[in-house]
Amino acid sequence: MRWICIFMILLFHIPLSVVQGAGKSVPILMYHSIEKFTGSGLRDLYVSPQNFEAQLHYLKENGYTLLTFERWNEITHVKKPIFITLDDGYKNNMNAFRILQKVKDANFQPTATIFVAAGFIGRPKRLSKEDLRLMSNSGLFSIQSHTMFHPDLTKVSNYEYELKTAKEIIEEITEKPVIAFAYPYGFFNDTVIEETKKYYQFAVTVRAGLFKETGVSNERYKLPRQFVKYDTTLEEFKQLLQ
C-alpha cells in the first residue's frame, strides 16, 4: 500500500506554478535510488548511475551552482543555483557519492542533500551511520531529515518523535545542524507545517515546479521539486531546469 501511495503521488503530483515576481527561479531536483533498475520496487524511483552522471556533467558544463540548504541565501547571487535532493537514505546513494567525487574539480564543487528516515539508518539497503558520517564529512553531502519512520504526518499525533527525535539522531551522527525536512509522501497540511516550523527552517514537497521567492506565508515550508525519473532523457532533464 505504501509503494502504491508513493507512486500515485509522484506520478500524478499537482504542478505548482511559478509565480511571477522578484528573484530567480530555482530548480530543486528530487531523486531516490541511484542504481540500475532490476525489477524490484518502482522503476520511476530509480535513476541509473550512468544517467545521474550525465545529468551532473550537464550541470557542470552549463554553469550551474549546486547548493545545499545551509547555503540558501546564496541563491540570490550565485550563477544558476540548483539543489539536488535524494529521499529516504538508500545504500545505493553511495553511487551518487562516488559520482560527485568523480565530477568534482577546482571549478565545479558539487553538493547534494540526502533526506534520511532516521529510524531506518543501518537497516539492510539503507545507509549506515558510518556512511552518513563519510558523506557529511566529505563536504559533498548535507544530511537532513525525513522523519523517524516515514509516516503520513497528517495522520500522526506524536510530532515531536517524528520531527524532533529524527533531527537529534541525525545531528548526533553528523555533528552538524539539521535545518531542512522532506514530508513523507509529500503529505502536509497547516498543522504539519506549524509542527515542522518548530524544528526546521525549510521543508520540501513533491509538488512540481521551480521555486521563486514571493514572500507568501510559509513558502519555505512548501518548496516544490522536479522529479527525475528512471526514463528521464537528457533533453527532458534540461526542461526540468526551466
CATH number of the domain to which 209 belongs: 3.20.20.370
Q: Domain for residue 13, yes or no?
A: no
Q: Is the pLDDT of residue 57 over 80?
A: yes
For residue 24, what pLDDT is reported?
A: 87
Residues 211, 213: Cα–Cα separation, whole Å: 7
Eight-class DSSP state of 82: E
Q: Domain for residue 232, yes or no?
A: yes
For residue 19, what pLDDT is reported?
A: 34
Q: Is the pLDDT of residue 1 over 60?
A: no
Dihedral over Cα of 218, 172, 49, 44: its sign:
negative
Mean pLDDT, the chain, whole residue set:
93
Q: Domain for residue 133, yes or no?
A: yes
Tens of pLDDT along 98-134? 999 999 999 999 999 999 999 999 999 999 999 999 9
Under 8 Å between Cβ of 58 and 234? yes
What is the percentage of the chain residues whose pLDDT exceeds 70? 91
For residue 23, what pLDDT is reported?
A: 72
Under 8 Å between Cβ of 99 and 49? yes
pLDDT band of 20, cuts 50, 70, 90: very low
This prediction's pTM: 0.91
Dihedral pair phi/psi, residue 94, rounded to 5°: -65, -25
Q: Domain for residue 174, yes or no?
A: yes
What is the count of structural domains for the chain?
A: 1
Residues 55, 181: Cα–Cα separation, whole Å: 24
- Over residues 166-172, the mean pLDDT reads 98
Q: Which domain holds residue 59?
A: 25-240
For residue 95, what pLDDT is reported?
A: 98
- Over residues 181-195, the mean pLDDT reads 98
Residues 196, 162: Cα–Cα separation, whole Å: 10
